[in-house]
Amino acid sequence: MANSNSTINDVARIANVSKKTVSRVINKSPLLSEKTREHVEKVIKEIGYVPNPQARALALRRNFIIAAIHDNPNAQFLVNVQQGILEGISGSEFALMVEPVDRNSPTIVNDVRQFLERQRPYGVVLLPPVSENDELADLCDSLGIRYVRMVSGELDKPENIVMSNDREAVYGAVRYLIEQGHQKIAFIEGPDSLSPAERRAGYDQAMAEAGLLVHDWMIAKGNYTFETGVEAGLALIDGAVRPTAIFASNDEMAIGAIIAARKRGIRIPDGLSIIGFDDTPLSSHIWPSLTTVRWPIVEMAKAAALKLIEDEETDPMLGVGLGSVLIERGSVRPLD
């Protein structure tokens, strides 16, 4: 029998009905006699007919592809997002396409345009940090392609974003350090974009509320990589005043800071407490295990996918303002 190289015409001919009737069966049209439906379904099964997706896409003027556009080098993050999107589209006809871009390329908008025109996905999820690029959002709009941006602030209309509250999450983590008696709390900042800025704002807020001044020697900067975490950690440790605790804006840099401490012969958490952000698997695999903030990446990505594919009006607030939670492990101890 035919290996799915049979067409709707074959089914129609054999079942002795019109193409349209077969089409109605495929698309589960309600206005159809039960008898014809069963008959046609039987024929479909017999000859192993499968509708051709390309033809369908042409006729419907849409396909069933969601594209994730990213410039994020962190493997775990990327995979988590993919997992979330896949959860969101599971059970539907959609599939996931992945397109990396180079944030620093001057041709980024054109690159993305070319991709979108070539594949014309039904919807696009923009991952941070490239999600903060308004030009890309506008591009999707102008091409008539739906999009959702994963961000840390209200950068767009609610229906076009999913959002985590980074500021609040960091605020909570720094408060936790303060409650443990820490006052000389340093902060390793991420690269220049919204999400890192929000994290910094959470730190500033917690410090201010506790009446603690944020001195220059408390702040170091990295770009989310392990190496810059080591550098920042060394800078802080060797600075004017040695902090008793460090909050790093992501886990990789936190782990870098741990290594930095070790290089200076400081034991964690006895000589220095460290908190990270992300809850990557790494954080529980090192010694000491890392106290960190788990942010809802998977949930955000899933919400993004749902916002893209659901026809009926979904709650525009879906996935907006998802909360984070502090995971207490072994890299923090109270100050005596």
Q: Collapsing DSSP states into helix, strand and coil, what is residue 275?
A: strand
Query: Contacting its own copies (CB under 8 A), which of 14, 23, 39, 52?
Result: 52
Select the binding partner of residue 286 from its own copies, DNA, none (C-beta < 5 to 8 A, by kind). its own copies
Structure tokens of 188? Answer: 């390793």
Bin 74: left if φ > 0, else alpha if -120 < ψ < 50, else beta. beta
List the one residue from 2, 13, 19, 110 that touches DNA (CB under 7 A).
Answer: 19
Rounded CA-CA distance 333/269 in Å is: 6
The C-alpha atoms of residue 278 and residue 53 are separated, in whole angstroms, by: 39
19's contact among DNA, its own copies, none, with CB below 5 to 8 A by partner kind, is: DNA
Identity of the residue, 144 or 211, whose beta carbon is nearer to its own copies in the bound complex: 144
Applying CB under 8 A, among 11, 12, 47, 86 the residue interacting with its own copies is 86
Q: Is 293 helix (H, G, I), strand (E, B) or coil?
A: strand
Block residue for tokens 């009446």? 211
First CA to last CA across the chain, in angstroms?
A: 78
Q: Which of residues 271-300 bind its own copies (CB under 8 A)?
A: 281-282, 284-287
Q: Does 119 bind DNA (CB under 7 A)?
A: no
Q: Are 129 and 195 in contact (CB under 8 A)?
A: yes
- Helix (H) / strand (E) containing 219: strand 219-221
E strand or H helix that includes residue 221 = strand 219-221
Q: Which class for 74: exposed (0-12), middle (13-18), buried (19 or more C-beta within 10 A)?
A: middle
Axis-axis angle for helices 108-119, 134-143 (nearest 10): 30
Do 101 and 108 touch, CB atoms closer than 8 A? yes
Nearest distance from C-beta of residue 231 to its own copies, angstroms:
14
Taking CB under 8 A as the criterion, the residue among 10, 46, 99, 168 binding its own copies is 99
Give the pair of three-digit tokens for residue 243. Answer: 């902090």
198, 252, 278, 279: which one contacts its own copies (CB under 8 A)? 252
Confirm or reject binding of residue 9 to DNA (CB under 7 A). Answer: yes
Q: Give the x-and-dash track for 43-62 against DNA (CB under 7 A).
A: ------xxxx--xx-xxxx-
The option from its own copies, DNA, none interacting with 203 (CB < 5 to 8 A, set by class) reads: none
From the list 12-20, 81-89, 205-213, 297-305, the region that binds its own copies by CB under 8 A is 81-89
When asked if residue 2 is in the footprint of DNA (CB under 7 A), the reply is: no
Q: What is the footprint of its own copies within residues 159-218 (CB under 8 A)?
A: none
Q: Provide the 10 A C-beta neighbour count for residue 180.
A: 16
Q: Residue numbers of the site for its own copies (CB under 8 A)?
A: 3-5, 50, 52-55, 57-58, 61, 63-65, 67, 75-76, 78-80, 82-83, 86, 93, 95-100, 115, 117-120, 142-144, 226, 252, 255-256, 258-259, 262, 281-282, 284-287
Judged by the rule CB under 7 A, the positions of this chain that interact with DNA are 5, 7-9, 16-21, 23-24, 26-27, 31-33, 35-37, 49-52, 55-56, 58-61
